[in-house]
């Protein structure tokens, strides 16, 4: 049966992709804006649409993460989803899952973290988890989010990798927006994603210990192996994206993507759903004769340093937009890109903190950032890092 196009909510698109991957265990605790994903999956299981899959209700996100950890350790493909404070509650277990080399998949419906309380979208939840060993992929829209779920299992379960994968999709902007999504023919997904074949699993007949105490003589080597697996994942991510395109006709993966970069002097660089608005801004500026392009970072961990160097080799100024802040420093993507280009590029790099707590970033905002890039090229004084649309009128005196 051929795949069919359907207008559905982003959360449902993710749920449909999860169903097509045939997980044996799904466990999650509801939190806005992730809730619809697990609601849809639980309904599918209740309706008999997901055969041989158990939905396990837990008391918290910590319990949900622990449940999929146990499922994967027993050799079962699993799935969970979370957001914001729920992700924070999972963090202890997320480190453990990566350390045990269990290829779980989680959908992260990106949302601000408290305090102050905010239910709206930014990237602070996932960025705060960047160093726990999980692969992090970032979707631009619903189709890409769904496609990445299927690819995530292929990537994480590859024996060269064996790491968990977090698929990030912007809360509300993707999770609650309806748009056309091409759904999946189950036979094609089965051909693309074979049943999970763990290297090792808990078995009473062949007992093993997982995640046990590591003495100083071996702990460093354990962390080194995770790091090396992340580096190997770069090649696997590209391979899987190309295989996915061959099978389904869409390139919805890979490390990065470039838009109108062929002669760009200024590049706008970011992750997530703001990429679409950035492309509109670039189209308008191109119509005005301004050579500007977009680089989308799909894989944040592993960080695609080599791919970004190649994409930006002729750029004179790179403008990095972060929807997060590493307190006391700057935006995380900005910092990582500077490190990747240090000593290997003559391009200036500007950083912008924007869109936190759900604040809108418009076409005009992106055009303004690009114009500052051109101003830097002309030798004008431009600050290296700026908080976009910061309302200084509401700040306490002396802030």
The predicted-structure confidence for 86-114, as pLDDT tens digits, reads as follows: 999 999 999 999 999 999 999 999 999 99
For position 369, what pLDDT does the model report? 99
pLDDT tens digits for 362-399?
999 999 999 999 999 999 999 999 999 999 999 998 87
Helix (H) or strand (E) holding 318, with range, is: strand 317-322
For position 2, what pLDDT does the model report? 59
Distance CA 143, CA 124 (A): 23
CB 242 within 8 A of CB 277: no
Angle at 184 between CA 178 and CA 185, to 5 degrees: 150
Sheet containing strand 105-110, strands side by side: 54-57, 25-28, 78-82, 105-110, 165-170, 135-138, 299-301
pLDDT band at 235 (very low <50, low <70, confident <90, very high): very high
pLDDT band at 336 (very low <50, low <70, confident <90, very high): very high
For position 397, what pLDDT does the model report? 87
* The pLDDT of residue 1 is above 60: no
Torsion of CA 23, 25, 29, 34, to 10 degrees: 0
pLDDT tens digits for 154-181?
999 999 999 999 999 999 999 999 999 9
For position 179, what pLDDT does the model report? 98
pLDDT tens digits for 206-215?
999 999 999 9
* The pLDDT of residue 276 is above 60: yes
Percent of the chain with pLDDT over 70: 99
Which tokens hold the place of 185? Answer: 């023919």
Distance CA 149, CA 154 (A): 9
Distance CA 352, CA 266 (A): 14
pTM of the full predicted structure?
Answer: 0.97
Among 310, 168, 303, CA closest to 231 = 303
Distance CA 374, CA 170 (A): 29
Assess whether the previous peptide bond of 115 is cis (omega < 30° from 0).
yes
Say whether 179 sits in a helix, a strand or coil.
Answer: strand
Residue 384: CB partners within 8 Å, gap ≥ 6?
Answer: 349, 350, 351
CB 170 within 8 A of CB 273: yes
Angle at 360 between CA 87 and CA 379, to 5 degrees: 110
Distances (CA, A) of 42 to 26, 53, 225, 261: 8, 10, 36, 43
For position 383, what pLDDT does the model report? 97
Distance CA 32, CA 363 (A): 27
Percent of the chain with pLDDT over 90: 98
pLDDT band at 120 (very low <50, low <70, confident <90, very high): very high
Q: What phi, psi does 300 have (nearest 5°)?
A: -90, -35
| Distant-in-sequence contacts of 221-229, Cβ < 8 A, 24+ apart | 222/99, 226/98, 226/99, 226/101, 226/133, 226/163, 229/101, 229/160, 229/161, 229/162, 229/163
- Averaged pLDDT of the chain: 97
What is the set of domains in the chain, with CATH numbers? 4-248 (3.40.50.970), 256-387 (3.40.50.920)
């Amino acid at each position: 049966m051929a795949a069919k196009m359907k207008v559905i909510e982003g959360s449902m698109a993710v749920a449909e992709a999860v169903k097509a991957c045939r997980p044996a265990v799904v466990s999650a605790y509801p939190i806005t804006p992730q809730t619809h994903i697990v609601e849809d999956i639980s309904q599918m299981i209740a309706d008999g649409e997901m055969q041989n899959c158990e939905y396990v209700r837990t008391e918290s996100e910590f319990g949900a993460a622990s449940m999929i950890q146990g499922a994967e350790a027993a050799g079962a493909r699993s799935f969970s989803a979370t957001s914001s404070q729920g992700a924070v509650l999972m963090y202890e277990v997320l480190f453990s899952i990566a350390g045990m080399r269990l290829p779980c998949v989680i959908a992260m419906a990106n949302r601000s973290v408290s305090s102050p309380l905010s239910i709206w979208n930014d990237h602070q939840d996932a960025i705060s988890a960047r160093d726990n060993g999980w692969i992090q992929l970032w979707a631009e829209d619903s189709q890409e989010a769904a496609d990445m779920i299927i690819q995530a299992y292929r990537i994480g379960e590859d024996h060269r990798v064996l790491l968990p994968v977090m698929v990030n999709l912007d809360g509300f902007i993707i999770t609650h927006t309806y748009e056309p999504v091409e759904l999946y023919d189950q036979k094609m997904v089965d051909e693309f994603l074979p049943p999970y074949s763990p290297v090792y699993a808990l078995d009473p007949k062949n007992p093993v210990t997982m995640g046990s105490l590591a003495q100083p003589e071996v702990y460093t080597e354990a962390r080194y192996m995770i790091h090396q697996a992340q580096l190997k994942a770069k090649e696997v991510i590209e391979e899987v994206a190309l295989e996915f395109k061959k099978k389904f006709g869409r390139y919805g993966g890979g490390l990065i993507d470039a838009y109108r970069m062929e002669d760009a002097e200024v590049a706008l660089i970011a992750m997530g759903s703001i990429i679409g608005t950035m492309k509109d801004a670039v189209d308008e500026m191109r119509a005005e004769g301004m050579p500007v392009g977009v680089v989308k970072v799909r894989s944040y961990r592993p960080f695609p340093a080599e791919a970004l160097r190649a994409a930006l080799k002729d750029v004179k100024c790179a403008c990095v937009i972060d929807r997060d802040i590493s307190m006391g420093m700057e935006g995380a993507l900005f910092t990582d890109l500077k490190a990747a280009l240090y000593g290997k590029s003559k391009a200036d790099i500007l950083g912008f903190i924007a869109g936190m707590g759900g604040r809108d970033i418009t076409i005009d905002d992106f055009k303004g950032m690009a114009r500052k890039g051109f101003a830097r090229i002309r030798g004008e004084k431009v600050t290296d890092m700026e908080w976009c649309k910061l309302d200084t009128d509401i700040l306490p005196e002396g802030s």
